[in-house]
Chain A
């Protein structure tokens, strides 16, 4: 039987891993959910603007484990950057594939 892969990092899943993600990715996913407030320097979620995305932008190739951002989602800031959607995730085999917007 083929070795199962983590849907986020494509690394090998351990028999002890429960679910589609490895333990490290599960931990990081949980950590990332706390980003919007801390990365913007504000702890007041109500201050965060919402992300306006139109549909059908023609973007393609959403990879496994990627996250789509939708209209109404809260914007996440990282320093000078406003994150608008995850477009690729891999174990050292990075590429800039694009998100299919909602």
Chain B
């Protein structure tokens, strides 16, 4: 009877074990380049220090628990503070980090939209003037030829 119970227990364990092992939903390299080594102030994927090694171990543990990249990052903020994120969170003053570059690009495009047509107009006018001058040269040449014929 005991053997049957033990076999049944083993069978239950064998069936439940794969179910409890969480499926990885992200990878260490995927997380590593978006977080910082908090003591060395460089991205974790290029950091070499005891703290960086321990941070990687923490990430591996979190991945093994089946957490997504965002969940891993949230947990890292819980453990190491907001400085652990390589990119600031998209809220409050941190929004400036995202909005300022966009505003700069928009301003540059607007500047280009205003200045380019003017520049093109100016270039076309200059070309037209050059063409006129070229025509005058031709006329001058013909005039010279005519005068030369008269002199003969």
The reply to whether chain A is a binding partner of chain B is no
List A residues at the B interface (Cβ < 8 Å): none
List B residues at the A interface (Cβ < 8 Å): none
